[in-house]
Structure 1
């Protein structure tokens, strides 16, 4: 499958997150009584907590972050992930990696994130190889957010194994660099639950992620 990274990098800055929130809120409001309750709370959150937030996030010089793009009907959105912060979390919580055969984890590498010019590759191994798997961000597929070149190198060398830190839905919430990214993630969970009659990742019928 051809990578869309180049296209996304040209389009994501034009995304209007507040228009996206508005349309999602309207859809939920019209779906059901439960949806109307969720929509009302999201309206409050947007007006009281998000209006002063900027998009897209500013990636600071000297700090390693990663842009994970999402394709919506309203445009291309950038989820900003803090890779340095993720590494600190791994150390603080003593999280253990998973051992993979490179051939089994290679599909997590988006070819659009591979620098094809060897003269421009600057090895940076201070942060480990990380992969996320999310229903809402990666279509339930493993997606490498750090260490693409190391996976590719291990694959090409036919190495027997490579250690990868894998994070599933909810586990990577601390990685979000900015408030808008975190809010968008929670919005999409609530939206999916409302529109499809689900209660994914919530403990009872009344709970919603907007309260976080």
Structure 2
């Protein structure tokens, strides 16, 4: 199966966050009274601050980041994740990894997008192996954001286990590098809550727009 990463990299350059937000806002407005209230708040945030944000985000030189792509009706959006920042948070909070057998985590790796020739791989173990699992971004399945080669090599070598730092749903929100990534993620949660009534992640304030 061919990787879509190169296609996503190109298509994401033409994504319009403003059009995406307007589309979601309009759908929520028409769904219910609750949806209209949430949509109004998102419209205010969009028009007051988000329209000023640069997209796609400029990844800083010398800092390790990761692009996670999501397909939406108007195109492909690039979520920017701060890998160095995630590593710092792991140390600050003394977060413990989850031990996986490589065969149980290999599906988190996009195998068509990694170099499988060990002679051409440049090891970079500055940051630990990390994966996200989200109902809104990864179909509730683990997706590796750092350490793809290490998982693949552990699987290929039939290792008994590998340590992976696994972050679910709201746990990885601090990793978003830019404001648009965080806002878009929260928007999608509210959108699903309103339009599909998928309340997998409840908000203490009634909607995630109030927490943004």
Residues matched between the structures, number: 211
Matches within 5 A, 1:90-169: 90-116=90-116, 118=118, 120-169=120-169
Q: Residue 62 of structure 1 aligns with which residue?
A: 62
Structure 1: distance between partners of 2:84 and 2:72: 28
Structure 1 length as normaliser, TM-score? 0.95
Structure 2: distance between partners of 1:134 and 1:183: 16
Structure 2: distance between partners of 1:29 and 1:123: 49
Give per-residue Cα distances to partners, 1:12-62, cap 9 Å, x unaligned.
100000000000000000010000000000000001121110100111110
Structure 2: distance between partners of 1:156 and 1:119: 15
Give per-residue Cα distances to partners, 1:162-190, cap 9 Å, x unaligned.
00000000000000000000000000000
Q: Residue 207 of structure 1 aligns with which residue?
A: 206
For 1:14, what is the secondary structure of its paired residue? coil
Structure 2: distance between partners of 1:158 and 1:117: 17
Structure 2 length as normaliser, TM-score? 0.95
Q: Residue 32 of structure 2 aligns with which residue?
A: 32
Distance 1:81 1:99, change over 3 A: same
Structure 1: distance between partners of 2:53 and 2:102: 40
Deviation at 1:203, TM superposition (A): 4.3
For 2:167, what is the secondary structure of its paired residue? strand
Q: Residue 175 of structure 1 aligns with which residue?
A: 175
Distance 1:11 1:117, change over 3 A: farther
Deviation at 1:118, TM superposition (A): 4.8
Q: Residue 14 of structure 1 aligns with which residue?
A: 14
Tell me if 1:2 matches 2:10. no
Structure 1: distance between partners of 2:157 and 2:117: 19
Where do 5+ consecutive residues of structure 1 fail to align? none
Structure 1: distance between partners of 2:119 and 2:153: 16
For 2:128, what is the secondary structure of its paired residue? coil
Where do 5+ consecutive residues of structure 2 fail to align? none
Q: Residue 83 of structure 1 aligns with which residue?
A: 83
For 1:128, what is the secondary structure of its paired residue? coil
For 2:185, what is the secondary structure of its paired residue? helix
For 2:160, what is the secondary structure of its paired residue? coil
